[in-house]
A and B are shown apart, each in its own frame.
Chain A
Amino acid sequence: MTGARPLNPGRWLGVPMLFVILATLAFAAPIRMWGLQMPEPVFAMVPAFAWAVIRPSILAPFALLVLGLFLDTFWGGPTGLWGLSLLVAYASVLAARNMLTGQSRPMMWAWYAGACAVSMSAGFLFTMMDSLAMPSLVAVFWQFLVTALLFPFAHRLIDRFEDADVRFR
Chain B
Amino acid sequence: MPFREGPLGDLKVPLTWTAAVALIVAVVIAVAFLLADRRETLQLQAYGVTRQTVDTVAKPVSGVIAAPGRWTGVGVGAVRNYFFAGAENARLKAELQEMRAYRDKYLALVDENDRYKSLLGLKTDPPIPMVAARVVADSRGPFANTRLADAGKEKGVVVGNPVMNERGLVGRVVGVAPGVSRVLLLTDIASRTPVMIDRTNARAILTGDGGPNPKLDYLRGADPIQPGDRVVTSGDGGVVPRGLPVGAAVKGLDGRWRVVLFADSTSIDYIRILLFKDFAQLADQQALAAKVLPPVITENPEESMLGPVKPAAPAPTAGTAAPATTTAPKPAAPKPATAGTTTPAKPPAARPPAAATTPPAAPARTPQ
Binding site for B on A (CB under 8 A): 25-26, 28-32, 37-40, 42, 56-62, 64-65, 68-70, 72-84, 87-88, 90-91, 94, 123-124, 126-127, 130-131, 133-136, 138-140, 142-143
Contacts of A134 in B (CB 8 A): 209
Give the Cβ gap from B14 to chain A, nearest Cβ, in Å. 10
In angstroms, Cα B142 to Cα A140, docked, is 5
Contacts of B267 in A (CB 8 A): 32
Q: What is the 8 Å Cβ interface bit string for chain B, positions 130-146, against chain A (1 contact, 0 not)?
A: 00000111111111101
Number of interface residues of B (CB under 8 A): 58
In angstroms, Cα B34 to Cα A130, docked, is 8
Nearest B residue to A167, CB-CB: B15
Most buried by A among B30, B69, B147: B30
| Interface majority SS (helix, strand, loop, mixed), chain A | helix
Give the Cβ gap from A27 to chain B, nearest Cβ, in Å. 9
Please tell me if B32 contacts chain A, counting CB pairs below 8 Å.
yes
Q: How many A-B residue pairs have CB under 8 A?
A: 175
Contacts of A40 in B (CB 8 A): 139-141
Q: If the complex has contacts A26-B65, A30-B137, are A78 and B26 also in contact, measured as CB distance less than 8 A?
A: no
Contacts of B37 in A (CB 8 A): 78-81, 130
Most buried by A among B27, B267, B268: B27
Residues A74 and B58 in contact, CB atoms below 8 Å apart = yes
Residues A76 and B39 in contact, CB atoms below 8 Å apart = yes
Residues A62 and B139 in contact, CB atoms below 8 Å apart = no
Give the Cβ gap from B142 to chain A, nearest Cβ, in Å. 4
Give the Cβ gap from B80 to chain A, nearest Cβ, in Å. 12
Give the Cβ gap from A135 to chain B, nearest Cβ, in Å. 4
Q: If the complex has contacts A75-B141, A76-B146, are A131 and B65 also in contact, measured as CB distance less than 8 A?
A: no
Q: 6 closest Cβ contacts across the A-B interface?
A: A80-B33, A77-B144, A76-B146, A136-B211, A80-B34, A139-B142
Contacts of A142 in B (CB 8 A): 142
Residues A31 and B66 in contact, CB atoms below 8 Å apart = yes
Residues B50 and A73 in contact, CB atoms below 8 Å apart = yes
Q: If the complex has contacts A28-B137, A31-B69, A76-B39, are A139 and B32 also in contact, measured as CB distance less than 8 A?
A: no
In angstroms, Cα B137 to Cα A40, docked, is 12
Task: Name the interface residues of B1-43: CB closer than 8 Å to any CB of A.
Answer: 15-16, 18-20, 22-23, 25-27, 29-37, 39-40
Please tell me if B51 contacts chain A, counting CB pairs below 8 Å.
yes
Give the Cβ gap from B59 to chain A, nearest Cβ, in Å. 11
Write 20 A-B pairs (CB below 8 A) sorted by A numbering: A25-B58, A30-B138, A30-B269, A31-B69, A39-B140, A42-B141, A58-B15, A59-B22, A61-B19, A65-B26, A65-B30, A74-B58, A75-B139, A75-B141, A76-B39, A77-B146, A80-B34, A94-B23, A135-B142, A138-B211
Give the Cβ gap from A60 to chain B, nearest Cβ, in Å. 8
In angstroms, Cα B209 to Cα A78, docked, is 14
Q: If the complex has contacts A40-B141, A135-B210, A140-B210, are A32 and B32 also in contact, measured as CB distance less than 8 A?
A: no
Residues B210 and A79 in contact, CB atoms below 8 Å apart = no
Most buried by B among A28, A40, A84: A28
Please tell me if B128 contacts chain A, counting CB pairs below 8 Å.
no
User: What would 8 more interface pairs be, CB under 8 Å, given A72-B33, A135-B210?
Assistant: A58-B18, A61-B25, A61-B26, A74-B137, A79-B33, A123-B142, A127-B143, A139-B141
Which of B182-190, B294-302, B347-355 interfaces with chain A?
B182-190
Q: If the complex has contacts A80-B37, A140-B142, are A29 and B19 also in contact, measured as CB distance less than 8 A?
A: no
Most buried by B among A26, A32, A124, A131: A131
Please tell me if B54 contacts chain A, counting CB pairs below 8 Å.
yes
Contacts of A94 in B (CB 8 A): 19, 23
